[in-house]
């Protein structure tokens, strides 16, 4: 078979049809591009909102916007940039790059990428439509209650935030599962963990952080929505709730989020800097160790956003120390980059210009971050423009500049053309100058006492500073417009090239550019660290079919490997293009619409439809046993192997879910210990009825498979339903409300277990192992849930 024949055969198998059939695309190259383009559209929208803010603040007593409009504009600026630009953009980049860097032909769950994309697009569109209709969220991007509660924001504005963001978070969670499973399971043969390209290490850590970072926010959103819709008073201090609970749950997500955004950008830097320095990354292992340290540290310092809320002194000092400490692993990476440039010969190409922009801006942001970690200083500047300046230095420095470096670096790969220089440089310097003009002296505006979110002021000195900021803001916008124009021109008129224009050593440059839908003609065999490869030779070899799985068999095949050693383990069959993800996302959208307009029967009907559609995904073909993988290797198809990607996915979902459950128990414990109005006047009396679900759950952990599991899950559901009937008036006090939340959580898990158990009984491949994993987890969490009400009664000193 010649390379051309192989190309045509593979393209017939992997390609997506033209026209409307593009809506059925699941391929990672298409999905990655879609995520990035949509994220850039939202970046433009967020930028326009920023300009509106700067216009308003350019003069004191400005008549440009009403207070209400201004509140919506600055809230949406934060929401759009954090949730609709930054996260989706790096998800898209990861989706586009990871399989190509790892030597796989696609992500592990292509339909999940597509479902995630549609959820993101619909959720984001909802928020933008709300803004155009004048009912956008207006309580700040962190939506603190009591301002966001039904009492002070009665309309649907806060609901749009809560439901829309949860919708978008679903997409982020599916991306996290995909990214982690793809890196662990879908790689070239022989790519052991210590041979991973450094970008994959970054994304592996980021995926793990997303799995435990986002559930607290999703949980918090559901609780606040339950309070707004049904009056369960989790955050109402008059009824045993506490607004501080929201702050804890929000920043449990919100602080790691900063690192979740920074690390993919840092991964880009660790990839780009060595290439343009003509050398290898200094201290690969040290950088990986620093990454792990950073991931752990970043979860232990959320309270630095809450110094002024009356936290005890001892814990303040603990969080202050850990906040300053996180600068260490960051510094390790900065030194690794500087060391790389020091040992090599840096070329000042366009991507490197943006790298220098990163160094200057990010280090400034890091320094003001260490200042803010100090409690007395933070007390002074809390909620002023100093913090606004700091966070822009960190996020623009730590995300936007590295991502622009990445854009110029990988755009030749995406479109097959090289940059045209002069305008790229002009764009960079305009952005760089404009940015510093906007934010550098905003530190001073903040130190002088101008609070964030205020829409008018009277001090003439503030007016001068704000005017300069506004001018800087518009200069920055002109810079971004130039950049956009430059990128469009590059795509239209850039110089075509053959292969590997930058002299990189990673696998993505072995594919033709723009890449075909199957990426590799054959799956590569890796014998060294995956950023030191001979790209030119390998590219020709792979196109000629010298590798694994080189003979097309009519299925979308890629290699599954051992997560640690990279030894080939199975042949993974990936799904053909399908409209199912689109329909599923539309049905999910129906659930949210039903909840938003408080038409609950509709929401329930759409939820059932969504579950039904998702179950259609599991219909698989019969496993064909052992297949020839080429190069004398025979491997089982993934459905008949004992370590399929889906089993890893369910394990990761259990981790994420357990984090949500732990956050719920943490929240209940927090209310019990520190909310006003505890213990409640009316104790929560459920009685011995919870013995049934407790025992059934205990049995479920042993009998996790087959009919027994299904019957036990049904018994758990019945027992929990009976217990829920007895909880009493959950709107009266947070105690019955938390009991209701914990029992409902267990009930939902029993319901999912019932469905998974029933599916497994149909006897498809590994569904039994997947259901059993879930049943064991549901059993354990259900037992804890059953113990919760008696524990709460004991602790609050009320009879059970």
Binding site residues, Cu ion, CB under 5 A: 255
The distance of closest approach from Cβ of residue 304 to Cu ion in the complex, given in angstroms and rounded to an integer, is 5
Q: Which residues contact 48 (CB under 8 A, 6 or more apart)?
A: none
Cβ-based nearer residue to Cu ion, 255 or 733: 255
Minimum Å distance from CB 269 to Cu ion?
A: 21
Task: Report the nearest approach of Cu ion to the CB of residue 212 (Å).
Answer: 16
Contacts 24+ apart (CB under 8 A), 679-683: 679/735, 679/796, 679/797, 679/798, 680/240, 680/732, 680/733, 680/734, 680/735, 680/736, 680/796, 680/798, 681/733, 682/728, 682/729, 682/732, 682/733, 682/736, 683/735, 683/793, 683/796, 683/798, 683/799
User: Whose Cβ is closer to Cu ion: residue 54's or residue 305's?
Assistant: 305
State the alpha helices, DSSP H only, in 231-349. Answer: 243-277, 284-298, 313-325, 327-343
What's the rounded Cα separation, in Å, for the pair 395 and 63? Answer: 30
Q: Which is nearer to Cu ion, 366 or 636 (CB)?
A: 366
Whole-number minimum distance, CB 320 to Cu ion, in Å? 12
Least CB distance to Cu ion at residue 145 (A) = 20
Of 83 and 122, which CB lies nearer to Cu ion in the complex structure?
83
Write down the least CB distance from residue 258 to Cu ion, Å: 6
* Whole-angstrom distance, CA of residue 33 vs CA of residue 23: 14
Give 255 or 766: the residue with its C-beta nearer to Cu ion.
255
**Sign of the dihedral defined by the CA atoms of residues 446, 450, 454, 458, in that order:** negative
Q: In this chain, which residue has its C-beta nearest to Cu ion?
A: 255
For 226, list phi and psi in degrees, rounded to 5. Answer: -65, -35
The closest of 148, 221, 210 to 183, measured between CA atoms, is 210
Phi-psi region of 467 (alpha: psi -120 to 50; beta: other; left: phi over 0): alpha
CB of 305 to Cu ion, least distance (A): 5
Closer residue to Cu ion (CB): 255 or 638? 255
Rounded to a whole number of angstroms, the minimum distance from the CB of residue 685 to Cu ion is 41
CB distance 248 to 302 below 8 Å: yes
> Of the two residues 105 and 255, which places its CB atom closer to Cu ion in the complex?
255
Least gap, CB of 325 to Cu ion (angstroms) = 13
Q: How many CB atoms lie within 10 A of CB 41?
A: 15
Distance, in Å, from the CA atom of 508 to the CA atom of 560, rounded to the nearest integer, reads: 18
Tell me the C-alpha distance between 393 and 390, whole Å. 5
Q: Which is nearer to Cu ion, 333 or 588 (CB)?
A: 333
Minimum distance of Cu ion from residue 158's CB (angstroms):
23
Beta bridge partners of residue 630, listed in sequence order: 633
Cα angle at 15 between 13 and 18, to 5 degrees?
135
Please state, in angstroms and rounded to a whole number, the distance separating the CA atoms of residues 784 and 345.
59
Residue number with CB closer to Cu ion (127 or 261): 261
- Residue nearer to Cu ion on the CB measure, 303 or 549: 303
């Amino acid at each position: 078979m010649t390379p051309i024949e192989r190309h045509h055969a593979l393209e017939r198998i992997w390609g997506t049809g033209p026209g409307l059939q593009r809506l059925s695309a699941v391929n990672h190259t298409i999905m990655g591009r879609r995520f990035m383009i949509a994220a850039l559209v939202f970046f433009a929208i967020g930028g326009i909102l920023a300009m509106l803010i700067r216009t308003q603040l350019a003069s004191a007593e400005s008549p440009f916007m009403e207070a209400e409009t201004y509140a919506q504009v600055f809230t949406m600026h934060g929401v759009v940039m954090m949730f609709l630009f930054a996260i989706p953009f790096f998800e898209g980049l990861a989706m586009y790059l990871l399989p190509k860097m790892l030597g796989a032909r696609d992500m592990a769950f292509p339909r999940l990428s597509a479902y995630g994309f549609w959820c993101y697009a619909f959720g984001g569109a909802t928020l933008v439509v709300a803004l155009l209709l004048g009912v956008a969220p207006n309580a700040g991007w962190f939506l603190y209650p009591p301002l966001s509660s039904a009492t002070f924001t009665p309309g649907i504005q806060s609901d749009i935030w809560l439901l829309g963001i949860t919708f978008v978070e679903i997409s982020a969670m599916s991306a996290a599962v995909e990214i982690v499973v793809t890196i662990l399971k879908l790689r070239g043969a022989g790519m052991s963990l210590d041979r991973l390209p450094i970008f994959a290490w970054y994304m592996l850590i980021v995926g793990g952080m997303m799995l435990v970072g986002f559930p607290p926010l999703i949980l918090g959103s559901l609780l606040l929505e339950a309070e707004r819709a049904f009056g369960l008073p989790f955050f109402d201090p008059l009824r045993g709730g506490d607004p501080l609970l929201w702050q804890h749950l929000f920043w449990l997500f919100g602080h790691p989020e900063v690192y979740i955004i920074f690390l993919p950008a840092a991964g880009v830097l660790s990839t780009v800097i060595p290439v343009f320095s003509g050398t290898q990354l200094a201290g690969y292992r040290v950088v990986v160790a620093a990454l792990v340290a950073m991931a752990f540290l970043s979860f232990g310092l959320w309270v630095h956003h809450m110094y002024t809320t009356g936290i005890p002194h001892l814990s303040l000092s603990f969080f202050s120390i850990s906040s300053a400490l996180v600068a260490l692993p960051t510094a390790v990476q900065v030194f690794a980059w500087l060391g790389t440039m020091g040992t090599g010969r840096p070329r000042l190409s366009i991507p490197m210009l943006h790298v220098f922009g990163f160094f200057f801006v990010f280090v400034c942001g890091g320094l003001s971050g260490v200042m803010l970690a100090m409690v007395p200083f933070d007390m002074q500047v809390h909620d002023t423009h100093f913090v606004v300046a700091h966070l822009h230095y960190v996020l623009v420095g730590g995300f936007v500049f590295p991502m622009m470096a990445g854009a110029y670096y990988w755009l030749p790969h995406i479109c097959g053309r090289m940059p045209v220089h002069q305008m790229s440089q002009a764009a960079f310097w305009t952005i760089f100058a404009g940015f510093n003009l906007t934010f550098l002296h905003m530190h001073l505006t903040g130190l002088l006492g101008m609070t964030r979110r205020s829409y008018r002021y009277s001090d003439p000195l503030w007016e001068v500073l704000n005017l300069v900021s506004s001018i800087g803001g518009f200069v920055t916008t002109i810079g971004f417009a130039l950049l956009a124009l430059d990128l469009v021109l590059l795509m239209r008129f850039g110089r075509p090239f053959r292969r590997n224009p930058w002299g990189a050593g990673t696998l993505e440059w072995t594919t033709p550019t723009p890449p075909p839908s199957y990426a590799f003609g054959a799956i590569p065999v890796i014998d060294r660290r995956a950023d030191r490869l001979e790209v030119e030779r390998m590219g020709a070899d792979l196109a000629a079919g010298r590798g694994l799985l080189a003979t097309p068999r009519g299925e979308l095949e890629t290699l599954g490997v051992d997560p640690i050693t990279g030894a080939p383990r199975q042949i993974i069959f990936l799904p053909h293009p399908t409209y199912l993800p689109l329909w599923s996302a539309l049905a999910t959208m129906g659930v949210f619409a039903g909840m938003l307009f408080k038409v609950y029967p509709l929401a329930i009907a759409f939820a059932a439809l969504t579950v039904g559609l998702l179950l259609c995904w599991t219909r698989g073909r019969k496993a064909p046993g052992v297949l020839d993988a080429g190069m004398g290797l025979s491997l089982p198809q993934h459905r008949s192997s004992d370590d399929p990607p889906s089993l890893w996915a369910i394990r990761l979902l259990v981790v994420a879910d357990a984090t949500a459950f732990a956050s719920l128990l943490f929240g209940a414990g927090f209310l019990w210990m520190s909310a006003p109005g505890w213990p409640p006047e009316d104790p929560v009396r459920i009685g011995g009825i919870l013995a049934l679900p407790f025992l059934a759950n205990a049995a479920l952990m042993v009998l996790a498979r087959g009919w027994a599991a299904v019957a036990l899950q049904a018994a758990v559901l019945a027992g929990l339903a009976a217990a829920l009937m007895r909880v009493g008036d959950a709107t009266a006090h947070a105690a019955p409300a938390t009991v209701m939340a914990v029992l409902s959580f267990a009930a939902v898990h029993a319901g999912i277990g019932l469905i998974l158990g029933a599916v497994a009984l149909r006897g498809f491949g590994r569904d039994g192992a997947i259901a059993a994993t879930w049943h064991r987890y549901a059993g354990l969490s259900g037992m804890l849930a059953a113990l919760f009400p008696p524990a709460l009664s004991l602790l609050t000193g009320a009879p059970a």
